[in-house]
Structure 1
């Protein structure tokens, strides 16, 4: 298929999809460097400022359930274009707001709309490609997707050098306009009318229920959420970890994000290189083991006098990110292949599970850690350990089902006699 459709689909389309997938994570942490200035502007403290993250994530999670099923019904492009347009309006509103409450309202609207591109863009590659080619392109998207959390706070810090915190939201609005143009002018519709499902509430809910009741979805969906959750603990808690634990300033978020996201990008690159050479199952197992090793190393470092010293303080989470980069694209494809006619619903429900976990992390777990390096590391180890156990359970169920199918196939000729 790659040879027939040419470079536009193998180079341009993945680049556009990667840019679309960035807007969700990019919008999470771009305001981090502006927290001190926003706190002074609205006379609020650190705990209240954390709501800027929590409200966004909670809204993103709430709406994420519906973006995918809507794209199954009306097509991928309309959902992405309309949702980004709403995101642009929300960003402008946040830039012009006059109170902290109004800011939170527009952050909620940002969260409700950002998933339209972030979630739906993942289904397009699987719509267009199969097998190793799909894995390679999903890995390329994951590489660029991984840049977003790293450049978010860096870009926020740079924008603060030339203007106020409001400029961060103006920049997000501008980014949204560019993405709308890319969707409308360059992105093909990958979900034609003949493949679409009826657009009604009962059909949307039925699709979500069908996906959610599948045991494989529960194992893989939660494994993905928990493995990435260990990394998100540091992303969502960056304002605490970088400033309170490491003692760094508003321009120093790169010291966490560059190595962490750099390792995730390397992992995604390795995943793409392994496509067609190493089985998907072996690749995921390797990634899970790498992430778990990172969790263990993180705890060991946090228990020493080097707990808040760079670069040692970020070695563990960087290895967790490396493991995530290896596993994430492949596990996403495993989920999508389970429901070829409900890919939007699959991505939406998987995103919802991950986002709810991330929102809980941001609002409950991070404040409870009280700026402790050992608390961050121990929580991350528990999360990756649980994810690896779920993956091991999934492999055991697959082995059992394979053995049952083999036994049934061997008995069939005898029964016919």
Structure 2
């Protein structure tokens, strides 16, 4: 099968999307079990949030290495190795004797889960270019965008069949299925002739070169803040759904369906509009829509009469629609800056985003989730920062005629 032939296969998009779904399932599926885990493990809600932080910190650190390693030895090998470690860590998590062990195993999960999610972006840039790359990235985002909505629903269903440990058995099986799909349907998109030597110093040098590049750094931060507001809402799900809205284990769909519904719709529109609208104009439009949705969400949260359902989630699809509209452009804009080091660029972009997500999950979310208004204000505030960074990038590009 040639590269052209393999890239035309619909199963390729399914595999790439599935690799992106590992992260959302690992994070969101355990939310319905927080109350049960708190009782079974004898820990507080704040301690349980550290299950997210441990996962994300390890994910972030290893994200610096997954991409460059794939630049050196090929994409497919690293993805398969990462998935096998992820499946093993999931099995061990299901058997964990206590909370401390579980936190450590969550870190192993995070360290290995990024192999597929991060490198899949580099695979897209290897196989596709221009408008086609934007469409493919949008289609993948649309498919794996369903994961954060499905994960807590699946988690709630699994709790009907067993305790919180059954969720980790599910994640282990999911990882092994992805190994099989990767072996069968994912081509090696980075041939031997294009690979760089696997040495620590060049690896670190390539990462540093991406970060010290002013445009690369600015785009990484713009992408980070573009997603940060949405992740604040996602990581606060147990506190928001159960604590503020009074829901239960089966009610997380109330938050995730509108939240992710908007993101899937935005990804669909981004893919369909590729070639009809300049990519940078699309990203700018996405930011504007996010700001409108975020401000509307904040206005509803400030009124006592509209702090419950359905008002508390009414504007979220508008907010996340804008996030998804901008996401593919921000990702590809950065990868295109480094055509010879896409793996390193993808790693830096992911590291910046994931490191901040860990701070959000472990520190910011527990602090601001005391009220619906606090969550809404934090989300829109983060979006404003991202929008300002994107505007600055556009202004510099205009001055340089880029």
TM-score by length of 1: 0.94
Residue of structure 2 equivalent to 1:236: 235
Q: Does 1:29 align with 2:20?
A: no
Q: In terms of mean alpha carbon deviation, does 210-219 or 303-312 score higher?
A: 303-312
Residue of structure 1 equivalent to 2:54: 55
- CA–CA separation in structure 2 for the residues paired with 1:318 and 1:256: 10
**Per-residue CA distance 1:203-225 (angstroms, 9 max, x = gap):** 11010011101111122111111
Give 1:85 deviation, angstroms.
Answer: 0.3
Residue of structure 2 equivalent to 1:300: 299
CA contact (8 A) 1:29 1:53 kept: no
Q: In terms of mean alpha carbon deviation, does 4-13 or 102-111 score higher?
A: 4-13
**Per-residue CA distance 1:201-247 (angstroms, 9 max, x = gap):** 00110100111011111221111110110000011111111111111
CA contact (8 A) 2:124 2:133 kept: yes
Residue of structure 2 equivalent to 1:413: none
How many residue pairs align between the two structures?
401
Q: Does 1:381 align with 2:380?
A: yes
Q: Does 1:71 align with 2:65?
A: no
Q: Does 1:334 align with 2:333?
A: yes
- CA–CA separation in structure 2 for the residues paired with 1:331 and 1:367: 29
**1:190 is paired with a residue of what secondary structure?**
coil
Give 1:312 deviation, angstroms.
Answer: 1.4
- CA–CA separation in structure 2 for the residues paired with 1:307 and 1:109: 42
**2:163 is paired with a residue of what secondary structure?**
coil
Consecutive unaligned residues of structure 1, counting only runs of 5 or more, are 406-417
Give 1:7 deviation, angstroms.
Answer: 7.2
Give 1:184 deviation, angstroms.
Answer: 1.2
CA contact (8 A) 2:6 2:187 kept: no
- CA–CA separation in structure 1 for the residues paired with 2:239 and 2:306: 15
Give 1:9 deviation, angstroms.
Answer: 2.6
For residues 346 and 307 of structure 1, do their structure 2 counterparts lie closer, same or farther at Cα, with a shift above 3 Å needed?
farther
Residue of structure 2 equivalent to 1:286: 285
For residues 221 and 307 of structure 1, do their structure 2 counterparts lie closer, same or farther at Cα, with a shift above 3 Å needed?
farther
**1:50 is paired with a residue of what secondary structure?**
helix
Q: Does 1:189 align with 2:188?
A: yes
**Per-residue CA distance 1:316-364 (angstroms, 9 max, x = gap):** 3322210111010111111111101111111110111001111111111
Residue of structure 2 equivalent to 1:368: 367
CA contact (8 A) 1:307 1:373 kept: no
Residue of structure 1 equivalent to 2:343: 344
- CA–CA separation in structure 2 for the residues paired with 1:139 and 1:117: 17
CA contact (8 A) 2:219 2:393 kept: yes
Give 1:120 deviation, angstroms.
Answer: 0.5
- CA–CA separation in structure 2 for the residues paired with 1:240 and 1:44: 15
- CA–CA separation in structure 2 for the residues paired with 1:355 and 1:7: 31
Residue of structure 2 equivalent to 1:255: 254
Give 1:311 deviation, angstroms.
Answer: 2.1
TM-score by length of 2: 0.97
Structure 1 residue runs of 4+, over 4 Å off?
A: none
Residue of structure 1 equivalent to 2:273: 274
**2:307 is paired with a residue of what secondary structure?**
coil
**Per-residue CA distance 1:82-127 (angstroms, 9 max, x = gap):** 0000000100000011111111111111011000011101111110
Highest CA radius of gyration, 1 or 2?
A: 1
Residue of structure 2 equivalent to 1:143: 142
